[in-house]
Chains A and B, each alone.
Chain A
Amino acid sequence: MKKEGLNLIKNKRGDNPLYAETIFIIATLLFFSMLFYFVYSSTSGAGIYEEAYAKEIALLLDSIKPGTSIVMDVNDSIDIANKNKKSLDSIFSIDKEGNYVKVSLRNNYGYKFKFFSNNKISMELRGSYLIITADKNV
């Protein structure tokens, strides 16, 4: 009786090749789903866009001549901000005291980059375009 019970324990469902294969396939699918999610979230993350936009805008502000306007397509950033439920009014801002461009596509997170130009800068978001205007600082 005791020996029979031991056999039952030994003869688990895992010994069934079909069962083992199913577990293996499910584990593999789960593993790769997690991997693809990680790759997707790392490459399309808001952090990368915040850094790229902050640096791009700061370099534009440094090179823009007074009396000119630049229209920049920022559709990607708006999509990400909408996904993160971030208010569109506060995506792009300028810290005039510190001479920083700030880009924030997530609540409570962002990226800032310093520029050296002393022009009077104004930025306005119109639809999916950011309009940057520079005037001579009096």
Chain B
Amino acid sequence: MKDRKININRPVITAGEIESFKDFGSLVNRYESASRFRYYKFGVMGLAVAAVALIVILTVWRTPAGDPSVAFVNPPMKGIDIGYSSYKVDAAQGAELTYKTGSKIKIPQDAFLDKNGKVVTGNVDVKYREFHDPVDFFVSGIPMTYDSAGTTYHFESAGMMELTAYRGSEPLIANPESKIEVSMASRQAGNEYNLYYLDTVKKLWVHKGKDKIAECEPQQMIDSVASNQPIPAANEAGDTSLVYPDYLRAFGYDDKMATIGSELDKVKAELKSVEDAKPFKPKKATLNGRKFNIDVDPKEFPELALYKGMYFEVGEENKNFDAKLYNVTWEDAQLTENVKGVNYQLTLSKGKEKHDLIVYPVYEGEDYDKALKLYGNKFSEYQSTLAEKKAEEKRKLEEYQAKVKKLEEERQAQMKKIQEEQEARMKAWAEQQKTWAEQQREIDEAFAMTQISGGAKDQGILRVFTISNFGFWNCDRPQIMPREKVLAARFADAEGNELKFGYVYLAEKGRNAIFTYAPNFNSLGFNPKKENWLWGVAGGNRLAVFMPEDFRNIPAGKASHTFVMNVVERKFNSVEEVREFLGLENNKSAQVL
């Protein structure tokens, strides 16, 4: 039983209502995202600030020296983080690795030590990733505050990276005698950035000097990225809808059923023939004397030709029978079966005159006796044959039912197999789509690197430094919180229910930073002359957002404000989705303290 839901006389949907669902622009966007492409996009906005306004961390950490039960680097959104690129390096040989943004990692020979300080040989697994905009900063959960001389600053970043190395599951140590050099692609020009390393034991950023700026041609960066991007293979599985089979037609269900049924039909026909050939029981003539002697075609009436000496007696029901009919030479006499096995209709006609009589085949005297005896034998034979045929019919019926059942099982198995194949093809297609989308995003990112924020020169920037430890390295400049306007803040949803957040984040257009407000903060500061975004995480891991237009509507002259947040119900599945949802433009770092 399928037990589907049924609606009777559901209200009709109008053409106007259907029209409201049309969105060709959105369809084209989805098509372009899903399609394969082998060319680079130009003029893509930087990915810098796209997802900043949305992400809110519920439980994370308070400060770099905060709750010890919570990991120091704690991605706030489950399942969403910046992925690593993985490389296999022969430790004795060294290698030059290229990341998707065009960054280079030069690994000299013998760059790795084990926990005992011994130089590692053989293959080593190196993992690397970068963070370039507030979206990246958030999803990674990397603390972005820096304490110096009793003041807490917030980092405005020109790019951050993480480099780790393992032999199997054993983390390795960077060899200070053979240092790894990183040339990290950066979207921020200028040499006012410092180099910092994140000490995860002491839970703070450590100043490590300055990076060096190297410039490179954008095309170099693109080419280096492109060389790492495999060209997607033709997707054969994409055309799943058009190769989706018509199960019944492919399986030949109707033809097979017809074949199975035909054998049963044949036996049924034979049985009917047997039944039709039931012997006719001879009847003795009455003494009414009303008889016709008619020559009967034995082919047409085989049951009548069985016995000799037959007459047709006119039945008593023929009330208007006139014996004068015997004296007429009739032009035509037609005999047809009336009641099967009992009587016939005799039609006598001459010109327009016509008489219908019900007549009975009868026998007299010795002919009757002989006919009766013969009938007995024939009837026994008939019964025997009938019984055989019925038994055969029963057997055939059982065979038929068994075959139908088997056919149905085969059909179901076939359908299941095809469905599984279909699902596997569609899954592979979906995976491929995902891969292509990711590859295109990487290409877009690489190209975005060429769009230098704040710089007059249209060139790529590489920030070059050597590392003394594996882990997080950051090119940053510390910033203080904006305080042009300070308000005592309260947060509520659209229904007026109070919202409680762990951390609240502020982003300001023109700064590649996020300003983090720790739990239980008293006041919130921002620059009303800039575009601002504010966000937090409400219950159920939902984002709650306060957008630039909301900031513009804050009344002037107030000391406090209830920030009415838009709580987003949608579930985000990737960094890109968060970035796309926010739709923030590339934040250009133009301000210098």
Is chain B a partner of chain A in the same complex?
A: no
Binding site for A on B (CB under 8 A): none
